[in-house]
Chain A
Amino acid sequence: MNSPTPQFVPSRLGIYEPIHQIGIWGENFKSNGNPNTSTSVIVEVDNKLENESETTSHEMLTASNNYEQEASKPIDKIQRRLAQNREAARKSRLRKKAYVQQLENSRLKLIQLEQELQRARQQGLYMGGVLEGSHIGFSGTVNSGIAAFEMEYGRWVDVQHRQICELRTALNAHISDIELRILVESGIGHYFELFRMKSTVAKADVFYVISGVWKTSAERFFSWIGGFRPSELLKVLVPQLDPLTEQQILEVCNLKQSCQQAEDALSQGMEKLQETVSSTVAGGPVDEVSYIPQVATAMEKLEALVSFVNQADHLRQETLQQMSRILTTRQAARGLLALGEYFHRLRALSTLWATRPPEPSLP
């Protein structure tokens, strides 16, 4: 056996071709069959071990078997080293790329968080007022219901944004109607998810939902019973849906009318509720200190507010469903895109408004 030359260190061999080495080791062991023979192999290698440092016996054993083969190909060794260097360099470049990508994402996330923080600060002013007077004894449960909703809603908005991007890509790419239908169904289902979330938090604190503090300021401007007006929704959607057939135009017209009637009915119901609560709170003698009976009765009446929020969301849901019945898949996809984009722009408007430079003060 040749003695090892400096550049051919057996341990390196073991690292780069372990599977090959193990195979040979196994073969040797099997082919021998005779336990005595194998023991002698181990004994031989053990002598070698004393000469080497920082190598595992396994590697030594496997390396020694290939010694004769490799010692006769020094050119191959150099080639392999160059390949390893190229590989290492490539991996290093990939790692750097991944790191930069991560930095970019973190930067975007930071901007997003700053925006959210600013929004939360503004809302904090409202929230302080909302929570002050109501459910003083149950502030723990009220807060947790609201906190849970805030978190879920944040996620809802993120998913909404992603869905809008998917719809836009899909419409430009002219995918099949079947695939588009799936996107449309999940888009509509996503709105239904929001209505479910709102129903849950309305039970915890209906004033929270109606006040609309969970939405951005521009969205709040258009708020009607804790959400968007279905008739407004139609005004936003319809121009984006051209061309519509005669039949569709008729059906959309009917839907607009039904929506308006339903909104009016609910609005009148809300007015009646206001009158009822107002007269209840105002009732009773004012020269007496105790107002508990009036306030207690008013609280009972205010329970109806939860029904109003649920009915308003029910109306929104039915309007969306009716629209999806009237429209073709492609039209429905364009409609959902238009609607999602509209709310996205309202949110952007709110952010811009909040960060606009202050009015210069007069000298």
Chain B
Amino acid sequence: MQEAIPYKSYSTTRATAVGSRSPLLNFLGGGGGVVANGSESSIRKLVEENAVVVFGRRGCCMCHVVMRLLLGHGANPVVCEVEEGKEEAAIGELSRIGGGGGDGGGGGGIQLPAVFVGGKMFGGLDRVMSTHISGELVPVLKDAGALWL
């Protein structure tokens, strides 16, 4: 299965607690595996190795909505929870990793939940919703290798 898509894997990476402590802590893979203490480098690795990653606050209902939409298309997004109270720092990290691919809110105004597709910042719920309706979302997901079909 790994051979079919050589450079994008779905394996959840086990991050080691090296480097500065990142506000992006636990992340749950699509299969429910939990790993603690992600550092910034491991978060970067997470974004690069997974087709779709969703960053959101714990228990955020909007995050739930984004997940529903992406799962409905057959994508299997990895969820990364942002620690309570550390949202600003998390957003700062994400904008550094993001590289400005897509309208993330105009001038670094990233909002949570934030979605990364194909290693690049895609946007928030707004962008997911509008691309979903206009039909642009499916090709983008396919290009990133998020969809099997």
Query: Which A residues are within 8 Å of any B CB, using their own CB?
Result: 254-255, 258-259, 261-262, 264-266, 268-270, 272-273, 276, 304, 307-308, 311, 314-315, 318-319, 322, 325
Contacts and interface: CB of A to CB of B under 8 A. Distances in A.
B130 A272 contact: no
Interface in B35-78: 59-62, 64-66, 68-69, 72
Given A318-B134, A322-B134, A262 B129 contact: yes
A192 B106 CA distance: 21
B69 A304 contact: no
Given A254-B135, A270-B61, A304-B62, A314 B130 contact: yes
Given A270-B61, A318-B130, 11 more contacts: A261-B72, A262-B132, A265-B65, A265-B66, A276-B61, A308-B61, A311-B125, A314-B130, A315-B129, A315-B133, A318-B133
Main secondary structure of the interface of B (DSSP, over half): helix
A304 B56 CA distance: 13
Interface string B111-127: 00000000000000110
B60 A304 contact: yes
Interface size class, chain B:
10 to 19
A258 B135 contact: yes
Contacts of A318: 129-130, 133-134
A269 B132 contact: no
A273 B125 contact: no
B61 A273 contact: yes
A272 B135 contact: no
Nearest to B62: A307
A191 to B, nearest CB: 15
Contact of A269 (B65, B126, B133): B65
A314 B129 contact: yes
Contact of A262 (B60, B64, B133): B133
Given A272-B61, A311-B125, A314-B126, A322 B133 contact: yes
Contacts of B62: 269, 304, 307, 311
